[in-house]
Amino acid sequence: MMKNPSKVRLYGAGGHSRIIQSILKQKGTVITEIFDDNPSFYQSTYNNAVLEGRKIAKKFPHKGNPFIIAVGDNFHRFEIAKFLQSDFTKIIHPSAVIEENVKIGNGTVVYAGAVIQPNTTIGQHVIINTLASVDHDNILEDFVHISPNATLCGLVHIGKGTHIGAGAVVIPNIKIGKWCTIGAGSVIIKDVPDYAVVVGNPGKIIKYKSP
C-alpha cells in the first residue's frame, strides 16, 4: 500500500485539479495552497484561495509542502516542473489497484479504478486516469497521460510526454515514441514514431507535432 502525504500544495486549479482535490479530501490530505497562472481562478474558493502562479509571482515560494502539478496538459506540466524548485509527491486513489513490483515516480497521480499490473515502471508527473488499465512490464516515461478507460497491454513502452486518448487500446509489445498523441478509441498495433498523432482502428498517423 502506497502512503499518501498529509499536506500538499497544488499547482493548477482547473478541472484536472478538482479531481485531485476530491481524491485528497477522501484521503484526509490537507491542501495548504493552490497556485495557478490564470487570473480567472484567483477568486475561486474550492478549499483555499487560489494564489498567483509563476508568470506573475515576484517571489514564488518554491520551498514548502510537496507539490502535485494538477494540470492535464502534458507539455504544461513539463514546463511547470522545470520552473518549480520544489519536492513533488504522488497521489493514488484508494480504489486504484497497484500490483507487486510497480514503481511510480513522484508527481504522478493514479485515479479511481485504475489498475497497474506487476513489474510496471511509471515515471514522474504521469497521469493514470479513471479506469485506465496498465498491464504487466510496461514502461511509461515522465509526463505521460493515460486517459480514462485506455488499455495498455503487456510490455508496452510509452515515451515521454505522450498522451493516450480515452478508450484507446495498445496491443502487447508496442513502443510509442515521445510527445505523441493517440486519438480517443484508437487501436495501436504497430510502433509509433516520436511526435506522431495517430487515430483510428488500426491506428494511422495523420500528422506530426513540431518537436
Active site residue ranges: 136
To ligand ACO, the closest distance from the beta carbon of 125 in angstroms equals 15
* Contact range with ligand ACO by CB under 6 A, out of 30-38, 46-54, 76-84, 179-187: 179-187
Cα separation of 65 and 8, whole Å? 5
129 counts as binding ligand ACO under rule CB under 6 A: yes
Minimum Å gap between C-beta 27 and ligand ACO is 20
Q: How far is the CB of 56 from ligand ACO (least distance, A)?
A: 27
Q: Label the pairing between strands 196-199 and 204-208.
A: antiparallel
Q: Which stretch binds ligand ACO (CB under 6 A): 44-52, 134-142, 170-178, 183-191?
A: 183-191
Residue 184 binds to ligand ACO (criterion: CB under 6 A): yes
Asked if 189 touches ligand ACO (CB under 6 A), the answer is: no
For ligand ACO, the binding residues in 133-162 under the rule CB under 6 A are 147-148
Phi, psi of 133, deg, nearest 5 = -120, 115
Candidate ranges 40-48, 60-68, 92-100, 184-192; the one touching ligand ACO (CB under 6 A): 184-192
Q: How far apart are CA 145 and CA 69, in angstroms?
A: 13
Q: How far is the CB of 112 from ligand ACO (least distance, A)?
A: 11
State yes or no: residue 74 binds ligand ACO (CB under 6 A): no
Distances (CA, A) of 104 to 92, 107, 112, 131, 181: 10, 9, 16, 17, 22
**Residue 145 annotated as binding site:** yes
Q: Does 186 bind ligand ACO (CB under 6 A)?
A: yes
Sequence ranges of the binding site? 72, 145
Can you give the binding site for ligand ACO, defined by CB under 6 A?
Answer: 129, 147-148, 165-166, 181, 183-186, 197, 199-200, 206
